[in-house]
């Protein structure tokens, strides 16, 4: 089976991108008594890419678009030396990889100094106690609109049972909307106070490895991530159903779907059995909740394919919110399956722990100084001159203050600009309610954490809404959607000390202020709670010229 490209019309402002990739195994070094190390050297350059058919400037990693995939096993150390050959400061961040005790490595503007043009920085990451599907992406400026992203998969250790038979092959499917404009022009549009505008046309691109199998009806795993900028997407495979097995690091009840909504920043693993007559089947991806639906196709090709599969392309939902809400509620954690450890996922009863704090976060669109901005609880985030985490480490005052965003929406009134940081205590167990009174779907991500999505519904959240929470088998994940005029609630144990980005995955909203940092703090200085600054940390802004640690 192979996947190839199947063109749709090109030439509009936006395209959808579907990329299927097979994975080469990376070399592993074993250090006695330690978790394995995997070493990567990545060079970031500009180069031509043609996701719409026409050439445009893209961001390549080792000459590749999308970038190389990372394959790791739970607890592996990932040592990634990134050389920046752009003429722009650059950082990569790791969507869903938790950087436990180590927010210095998170690679966002609030935690890590940018890699200067011509410079390099070695990330020291660990896939600590994680399994599942993640991706990396460039976090600064509007680089994400030019590529620079790639898949990350963390496999279970050999002794840990996985709740389904090993698939015949494992493919990464990165889907996303795509603007034809250059990322610098998109950034300029946002900087000058305007919106990016809306998808108006589409085309597609796909590439994949091939595989031959002796079994007659092989089952494949597809890891699907929405790496786009602006829209929720729906994916479906002509003539086939998908069995959902994993959501962002949690094994799910294996439910069968004919199509799946994937909101911005989200990742899903599905199993697909190739048990149909040998044809080329369309993989259809289309936008959700948009006034104009744009769609694109890739191809799922059987070996010995007799050509295009007969019949119409599978339709999917378009603007229906209830359909999506019902699907979201049907996604359940498999309590008896193991996660990164052999014990059942449900052995920690998240629903029986009493929450110590409720944080309500409301998004808004606003105008500040005549420019389009977005805000959380009335505060539109602006980056400081020094990463927050580094200012915190050196106790440099004047960069930020804790408590510059409140625990509850500010009510009516306009928003203001601020480097907003919310304080929180290590080991608190928080309930966070995302309240969306806008008519646009939202997607929220929290770095450094996974959380249980205990509830979501239309209307306004109130204390009574808790009666509808799923306190038994909600899925634990790192990105949650909030439907228009709706709320979503999560439970999150604050077990990871650090400075963590809480952000909209809608990239223009994030860029224009719909984000803040959660400072999870302890007075302990033990390395068991938080690692000190890395010895190779780059220092910038008001921390320039300081020493890190003796080598």
Ligand X SMILES: *[C@@H]1O[C@H](CO)[C@@H](O)[C@H](O)[C@H]1NC(C)=O
3-state helix, strand, coil in the chain (%, to 5): 10, 40, 50
Shortest distance, CB of residue 365 to ligand X, whole angstroms? Answer: 39
Among 163, 197, 314, 409, binds ligand X (CB under 6 A): 163
Measured distance CA(335)–CA(14) in Å, rounded = 41
Q: Which is nearer to ligand X, 106 or 280 (CB)?
A: 106
- The distance of closest approach from Cβ of residue 9 to ligand X in the complex, given in angstroms and rounded to an integer, is 40
CA 209 to CA 134: how far, in whole Å? Answer: 20
Is the CB of residue 259 less than 8 Å from the CB of residue 314? yes
Between 196 and 337, name the residue whose CB sits nearer to ligand X: 337
Minimal distance in Å, beta carbon 541 to ligand X?
16
Rounded to a whole number of angstroms, the minimum distance from the CB of residue 540 to ligand X is: 12
Contacts of 188 (CB under 8 A, 6+ apart): none
536 binds ligand X (CB under 6 A): yes
Site string for ligand X, 51-90 (x = CB under 6 A): ------------------------------x---------
State the sign of the Cα–Cα–Cα–Cα dihedral 214, 308, 244, 129: positive
Residue 398: other Cβ atoms inside 10 A: 10
- Closest approach, Cβ 121 to ligand X, in A, equals 5
> Hey, what are 274's tokens?
């190739």
Residue ranges in 120-139 that form contacts with ligand X under rule CB under 6 A = 120-122
Return the number of the residue (421 or 538) whose C-beta is nearest ligand X: 538
- List binders of ligand X among 253-272 (CB under 6 A): 253-254
Output 226 or 334, the one with its CB closest to ligand X. Answer: 334
In DSSP terms, 295 is beta-bridged to 286
Strand pairing category for 371-376 and 295-301: unpaired
Segment contacting ligand X (CB under 6 A): 90-98, 118-126, 259-267, 410-418? 118-126
Site size for ligand X, by CB under 6 A? Answer: 12
Handedness of CA 186, 192, 193, 198 (dihedral sign): negative
Nearer to ligand X, 181 or 271 (CB): 271
Structure tokens of 135? Answer: 């991706």
Candidates 372, 355, 352; CA nearest to 513 is 372
**Residue 475 interacts with ligand X (CB under 6 A): yes or no:** no
Please report, as residue ranges, which positions from 326 to 385 form the binding site for ligand X (by CB under 6 A).
334, 336-337
Contact 234, 224 (CB under 8 A): no
Q: Which is nearer to ligand X, 83 or 179 (CB)?
A: 83
d(CA 392, CA 408) in angstroms, rounded, equals 25
Residues making contact with ligand X (CB under 6 A): 81, 120-122, 163, 253-254, 334, 336-337, 536, 538
């Amino acid at each position: 089976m192979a996947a190839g490209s199947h063109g749709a019309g090109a030439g509009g402002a936006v395209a959808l991108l579907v990329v299927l990739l097979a994975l080469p195994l990376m070399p592993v070094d074993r250090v006695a008594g330690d978790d394995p190390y995997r070493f990567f050297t990545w060079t970031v350059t500009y180069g031509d890419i043609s996701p719409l058919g026409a050439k445009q400037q893209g961001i390549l990693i080792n000459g590749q678009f999308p970038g190389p995939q990372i394959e790791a096993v739970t607890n592996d150390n990932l040592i990634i030396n990134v050389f920046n050959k752009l003429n722009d400061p650059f950082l990569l961040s790791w969507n869903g990889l938790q950087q436990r005790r180590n927010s210095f490595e998170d690679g966002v503007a609030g935690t890590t100094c940018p890699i200067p043009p011509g410079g390099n920085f070695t990330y020291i990451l660990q896939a600590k106690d994680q399994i599942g599907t993640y991706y990396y992406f460039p976090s600064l400026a509007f680089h994400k609109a030019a590529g620079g992203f790639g898949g990350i998969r963390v496999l279970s250790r050999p002794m840990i049972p996985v709740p389904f038979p090993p698939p015949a092959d494992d493919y990464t499917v990165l889907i996303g909307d795509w603007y034809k404009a250059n990322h610098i022009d998109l950034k300029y549009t946002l900087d000058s106070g305007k919106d990016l505008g809306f998808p108006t046309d589409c085309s597609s691109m796909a590439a994949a490895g091939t595989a031959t199998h002796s079994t007659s009806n092989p089952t494949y795993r597809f890891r699907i991530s929405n790496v786009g900028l602006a829209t929720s997407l729906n994916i479906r495979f002509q003539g086939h159903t998908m069995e959902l097995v994993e959501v962002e690091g949690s094994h799910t009840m294996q439910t069968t779907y004919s199509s799946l909504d994937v909101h911005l920043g989200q990742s899903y693993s599905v199993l697909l059995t190739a048990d149909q007559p040998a044809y080329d089947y369309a993989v259809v991806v289309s936008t959700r909740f948009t006034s104009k639906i744009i769609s694109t196709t890739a191809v799922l090709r059987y070996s010995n394919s007799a050509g295009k599969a007969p019949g119409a392309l599978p339709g999917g939902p378009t603007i229906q919110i209830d359909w999506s809400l019902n699907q979201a509620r049907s996604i359940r954690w498999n309590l008896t399956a193991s996660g990164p450890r052999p014990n059942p996922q449900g052995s920690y009863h998240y629903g029986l722990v009493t929450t110590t704090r409720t944080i309500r976060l409301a998004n808004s669109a606003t105008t500040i100084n005549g420019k389009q901005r977005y805000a959380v609880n009335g505060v539109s985030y602006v980056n400081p001159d020094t990463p927050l985490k580094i200012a915190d480490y050196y106790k440099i005052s004047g960069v930020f203050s804790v408590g510059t965003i409140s625990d509850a929406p500010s009510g009516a009134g306009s928003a203001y600009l601020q480097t907003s940081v919310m304080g929180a205590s290590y080991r608190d167990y928080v309930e966070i309610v995302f309240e969306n009174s806008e008519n646009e779907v939202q997607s929220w991500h929290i770095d450094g954490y996974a959380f249980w999505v205990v509830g979501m519904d239309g209307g306004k959240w109130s204390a009574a809404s808790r009666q509808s929470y799923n306190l038994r088998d909600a899925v634990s994940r790192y990105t949650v959607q909030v439907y228009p005029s709706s709320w979503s609630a999560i439970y999150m144990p604050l077990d990871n000390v650090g400075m963590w980005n809480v952000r909209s995955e809608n990239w223009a909203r994030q860029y224009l202020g719909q984000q803040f940092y959660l400072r999870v703090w302890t007075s302990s200085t033990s390395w068991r709670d938080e690692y000190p600054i890395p010895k190779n940390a780059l220092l910038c802004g008001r921390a320039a010229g300081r020493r890190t640690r003796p080598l």
